[in-house]
Homo-oligomer: A and B are copies of this chain.
Amino acid sequence: MKLVILQENLKKYLNLTERIIGRNLTLPILNNILLTIEKNSLKLSVTDLEITLEIWLPVKIEENGSLTIPNKLLNNFINQLSNIKDQKLILESKDDNLNITLENYSITINGMNAKDFPIIPKIKTNSALELDNSMFKLSLSQILNSAAFSEIRPEISGVFFNFTNSNEKIKNFKLVTTDTFRLAEKKIECSFKEKPASFIIPIKTITELVRLFDLTEKQTTKIYLDNNQVLFDLGNIHLSSRLIEGEYPNYEPIIPKKNQTKIIIDKNNLINSVKIASVFSSKINDIKFKINPNKEKMEIFTKSEYGENKSEINIKGQGEEVEISFNHKYILDGLSNILGNEAVMEFQGSQNPALLKSNSDDDYIYIAMPLRLN
């Protein structure tokens, strides 16, 4: 293998490959990156055996070949080059080692034969679903903080992708996350022509996918399903992942269909008030809302052994007075996901889940369970 590549082109992607790898002590080869000449490009591949990232980079090829080297070492080296003017790196394999030359530097990285790298499963690329990147990124970022890794319930440790009623003119694609304390649902309209399908993608896969959108020049992402695998095709970047097995909880009944109290509130005012109140919250992070739609006021209370906080916000709304407590973190997470300046909050008494959404966007809802205090 021999090629010429620009520093910047490598640098852009090596932090990403490092993140996929994590740190693998049991199988050291997984700490490696595989370099291969393919499709007139240099292909970078890393895998943790669950998630695989493949990136094709433009290079000047002088000789075909492949080898695998420690990703961290390559990343550390490339990061130290920021003050070096010479942009062109010459990469050349010698036996299973990689020689890198530039300016007055001559580097050798000890590598291994490409055969030692795990085989990456091929995913059949037919019947793709195609989504607009900016919309897809926004949607994923709205739901991601409501998911949490659970050893006991692996099926909720991911994002639920649910495509239904593909022939109707409705928003037929839903993204759902829950950690059982709160739930987020985002509706998207998409032209999925296949039969209804639903699958669960691990949190880590989605977290990494969200970062990739900023690194591609493509406007859309293609999603392919094959057996128990999913592939996100962003042009020169492919992210593939196993799916989570099991059935996603039947969450629909949890979504409140009616309310006893409904208010509209300035989102940023509420965020500020909850943040300030949180300083005086007790160990269970509790914050109490006392809502009076008639008086157009909401009071916020927190109290701990160190002190207490009381504040007041103007609201508009209708329905019954209600006094309800939440974990303040869940309220802040929900508010941070909402578009626009006005939040809508709907309550059914102090013991039932509350609904949070934007006053200007019906596609996203956030359900928070109240704290049931004595």
A312: B residues at CB distance < 8 A: 104
Residue A280 is within 8 A (CB to CB) of chain B in the complex: yes
A81 to B110, CA, bound (A): 53
Q: Are B84 and A272 in contact (CB under 8 A)?
A: yes
Q: What chain B residues lie within 8 Å of A84 (beta carbons)?
A: 272, 276
**Distance, CA A81 to CA B73, complexed state (A):** 43
- Chain B residues lying within 8 Å of A9, measured Cβ to Cβ, are none
**Contact between A279 and B76 (Cβ–Cβ < 8 Å)?**
yes
Q: Is B77's CB under 8 angstroms from A109's CB?
A: no
Interface flags for A272-290 (1: CB within 8 Å of B; 0: not) read: 1101101110000000000
A311, B105: Cβ atoms closer than 8 Å: yes
Closest residue to A307 on the B side, CB-wise?
B109
Report copies per complex. 2
- Cβ–Cβ contact B105 & A279, under 8 A: no
Is residue A97 contacting chain B, with contact meaning CB distance below 8 A? Answer: yes
Contact call A107/B307, Cβ cutoff below 8 A: yes
Q: Contact: A73 with B311, CB < 8 Å?
A: no
**Chain B: minimal CB distance from A131 (Å):** 34
Q: Mark A109-148, 1 if CB is under 8 A from B, else 0.
A: 1100000000000000000000000000000000000000
B107 touches A70 (CB 8 A): no
CB contacts under 8 Å to B, within A292-308, are 305-308
CB distance from A335 to the nearest CB of B (A): 13
Task: Give chain A's interface secondary structure class.
Answer: mixed
Tell me how far the C-beta of A81 lies from the nearest C-beta in chain B, rounded to whole angstroms.
Answer: 7
Q: Bin the interface of chain A by size.
A: 20 to 34
Contact among B106, B306, B313 with A109 in the assembled complex (CB-CB below 8 Å): B306
Q: Does A310 belong to the interface (CB within 8 Å)?
A: yes
* 0 or 1 for each of A65-82: is its CB under 8 Å from B? (1 = yes): 000001001001100110
- A311 to B276: give the CA distance in the assembly, Å: 55
A310 CB to nearest B CB, Å:
5
Instruction: Write out the residue numbers on chain B whose beta carbons fall within 8 Å of the beta carbon of A73.
Output: 279-280, 306-307
A87 lies within 8 A of chain B by Cβ: no
Cβ contacts under 8 Å, A310 to chain B: 105-107
Contact B106 A305 (CB under 8 A): no
In the complex, chain B residues whose CB is within 8 Å of the CB of A80: 272, 275-276, 278-279
Interface residues of A (CB under 8 A from B): 70, 73, 76-77, 80-81, 83-84, 97, 104-110, 268, 272-273, 275-276, 278-280, 305-313
Question: What are 19 pairs between A and B in contact, CB < 8 Å?
Answer: A73-B279, A73-B280, A73-B306, A80-B272, A80-B276, A80-B279, A84-B276, A97-B307, A105-B276, A105-B311, A106-B310, A107-B276, A107-B308, A107-B309, A107-B310, A109-B306, A109-B307, A110-B306, A110-B307
